[in-house]
Structure 1
Amino acid sequence: MAEATILGDGEQTHPKPSGPVGPDVDPIETREWLESLQYVLESKGRDRAQFLLQALQVKAVQEGVELPLQLRTPYINTIPKDEQPAYPGKRDIERRIKSIIRWNAMAMVVRANKNDLGLGGHISTFASSATLYEVGFNHFFKGRGESGYDGDQIYFQGHASPGPYSRAFMEGRLTEANLVNFRRELQPEGGLSSYPHPWLMPDFWEYPTVSMGLAPIMAIYQARFNRYMEDRGIKPTEHQRVWAFLGDGECDEPETLGAITLAAREELDNLTFVINCNLQRLDGPVRGNAKIIQELEGIFRGAGWNVIKVIWGDDWDPLLNEDETGLLVRRMGEVVDGQYQKYTGMPGSYIRQHFFGKYPELLELVDNYSDEKLEKMRRGGHDPEKVYAAYKMATELKNGRPTVILAKTIKGYGLGEVGEGRNIAHNKKKANEEELREFRSRFGIPISDKDVAEAPFYLPPKDSVEMKYLHERRKALGGYVPTRPTAVPTMETPKLEEYQEFLGGSNGREMSTTMGFVRLLDKMCRDKTIGKHIVPIVPDESRTFGMDTMFAKYGIYAHAGQLYEPVDSEQLSYYKEAVNGQILEEGITEAGSMASFNAAGTAYSQHGVNMIPFFIYYSMFGFQRIGDLVWAAQDMRAKGFMIGGTAGRTTLNGEGLQHQD
């Protein structure tokens, strides 16, 4: 493979994903084609233009024309300025609320580490994603409503936990003592767990997310399980959305991207990923020599997702509008992430020289911009209007595709020279008096110079404009989030005598425990009291266990139904897929099966319905593959049965030592 060429000022050449191939040998013909396309767009609209381009593509392939791979779009926002919806909120009030939440989140970590050196905590992740969360809290995240079970399901990024804690403090759901005892949840007056943890905080957190990679796969299967509940007529879920907030570095975990094709195949347009692309992981850049946003765009677009890029704030809109040469977009695409990280915190003169200075035309474009103005131009993930536009598009798209939002931010945003965009930002846990004073002044927190060194928490008066607005917005959206009900719904259980046949042994007949279990499972599925609540989950091993007799009886769940005639359709136990199918035949994915188990096992708290998952697996040895998800199941208080289908030491000797349990 040819090596990429490294150019000056953080550039890198790559095979171009878009644009003409080779020189234009007939510019007049090219112009005629482009003018024809423009005519169709203006007179017939985008849908017609899309149809014609797809028809041309089909014809070109039929004629043997090799088409360029088009999975990445230019390095600009997906939604242009002239298509942005009007922002419905009161920006000035929302900014003050966000600033207070920023301060208290930072103070929580700083104070914890003053009291106990080495206690830890993370400031920079929430600092980079505060706008992503606050736009959601103010305008999109639906609460549980009157029923207590109709809200959105939100997987908060684990390292951003100080943010939701700080907001809950403003909402009156947490006390100052709770915040003081951050990471010390066993204190007598109560504390807060380090990360989202339903076992330690059962009335607050819903999902354990800090083991990176687990939130994405669990969110996908949660969205699919919501569809399962609706398709089986158990509970309507069409108005519930699953949100997963992730980090760009987290996308290197196999579980993060491992199930994204399932989300597209199952048409989960009730699912939104928000990836906070602050370009940094713990040690350094996520992709120093490349562009993580472009990489992820190609991956998700190729998997069938809608991709919305939020890269540039509104400061950049006038420049993009005035640039008639196309050089600004070209320059944006040339610079690699490591260099973008370098621009953060550098003076405007450096940005002028090293970013705009590549082309004389770009220098002329910013000739009337001061160095200070260049330094303050924002990234898209810090612009509420850009984020709102992306969320609105994501929630309104009903095209059968999940959506990922790639939001470019700065790690440690607002932390100043010592933490903003620095490689050490992830481990930032302390702040000296000067840093606290700078942070306070930048975000307008009314704390005096005399008190600032103690990093006191700040709450505006209860009757203030900010507090009224905060509560009004959450009331309009159905209540506060996150929250988790602790009252477990009751369920009628079958009478023991109805299962007498399983209590007296096999009466001298040879019978494997596996066969006995399958008979029991079949009877439970037929039970009038609990039958519809049983969720059999199998990773492509039903025939191994003799469960194939259940296919035709109960059906294999498929949102699209069965669009083909199965090869064994004339047999009694044929392979039956159905929209209301009960069995989750997951294919060869133990992790996906466990994620389904977690969704079903927490249905009592998510949907107010007791579901009873049975995850039957090849053999007990195989659970080593998914230990982290099993641990997560315990953390999120999942209920259900995990069953090793065969005993390795007695039935799998021929498979080798690894299968010996």
Structure 2
Amino acid sequence: WTLGSHFEARNATHQMKKLTLDDLKGFRDRLNLDIPDKQLEDNPYLPPYYHPGEKSDELQYMLERRKELGGFVPTRRVTSRPLGMPGDAAYASVKRGSGNQPVATTMALVRLLKDLMKDPEIGHRFVPIIPDEARTFGLDALFPTKKIYSPHGQTYASVDRDLLLSYRESRSGVLLHEGITEAGSVASWTAVGTSYATHGEPMIPLYIFYSMFGFQRTGDGFWAAADQMTRGFLLGATAGRTTLNGEGLQHQDGHSLLIASTNPACLAYDAAYAYELGHIVRDGLHRMYGEPQENVFYYLTLYNEPILQPAQPDNVDVEGILAGMHRISDSPGGVPAAHILASGITVPAGLQAQRLLSDDWDVDTDVWSVTSWTELRRDAVDADQWNLQHPDEPARIPYLTRRLQEHAAPVVAVSDWMRAVPDQIAQFVPDRWASLGTDGFGRSDTRTALRRHFHIDATSIVLRVMHELAADGALDTATLRKARSAYEILPADGAA
């Protein structure tokens, strides 16, 4: 509109870069701009700026609006100070393990959140945000004490009012229960996560959602949040491609970590154990709300499958947890013939594979819990870039390379995600590399069948380790064939 006959209704906006002289004059006339022909004819490709005059109504209106907005140049005034951090007591529940009671990492995180919200220093700053199904994630436990925020308070009698954990809304409520709107929830998360700048009051948003409905559905919102320097936590619950079988492919998330890895402001973690989550959350609070005041946010995948949560070991490797990998089980024989790298819900399968390899095949391995494939890659890429730019300096060795070089051996990586997720680090592994993952859809009726379908169960890990050892000349092929037969893992055509 207004750009002349060469532009209007031609859908040529991105192809045409300049106006002709006739179009330029037509544009001037259409908008009633007081510019003489000569100024346009002198250089049609450099038309003059138009100024309506200092006392014109247009300029006075613009000046008044800018004054109301606080000035001519938009500025970001960050006046908030670092917050005091919760003490060790707030993390006690995730450190002590679950004893004989299996607990999912989703429930462990909710318990940690409840304890953090009791902290006298910053407990009042936590804002849980739920797009739907608070009970699925166990957040209904917060209803009686923290309540759901509503500007009008409770205006109805809830159908679950006879329950102890019934819906309770309040003008002073803390939870944002948004209904089925992920886009609205991301907007709320962004608003809360930027309050440190917009209001000078840092708040700590924790947006919990079905992981499939996060980066895949609202990834553009997370990118905009990064652009706005949002701080906070994203909690991708029911994570993984094999943990929520039976509810349809829309829930089976095998790639949100891959999408998350593309966001430079996002630190994505795939923890297996509650105590790992504790250290990651603590690190996030420190980096975003403590002295560093970093403009980042954390994406934590959470699983709905209960497992026995081990107590935090005395020699816990906090540096490794935060860097992306730490050894959780040493090789029974001291020196491993292979390394098993597992993340999230596949860690128990990795440990079972270690036992089978040792007991049945006399093959010693160690097992590493990979808390973040993406952070390992970023560290390695940074080292690679530094080495390229500083050829005369001693080379920097990536964290994962340094740790795996302690014992040279083939590496088998397994996760509940597409193989592209662990494959992020493949080029920086100093030995043979193989990955197992959940590429494809998968429509099996049980977790056990689905994991066999994707070959990420314990026996599939065993076979892959033995396959890599045989390819390396460290295992005879007859033993490999025996293992295939024993675990009934045969080629598709049924040949032995």
TM normalised by structure 1 equals: 0.34
TM-score relative to the length of structure 2: 0.44
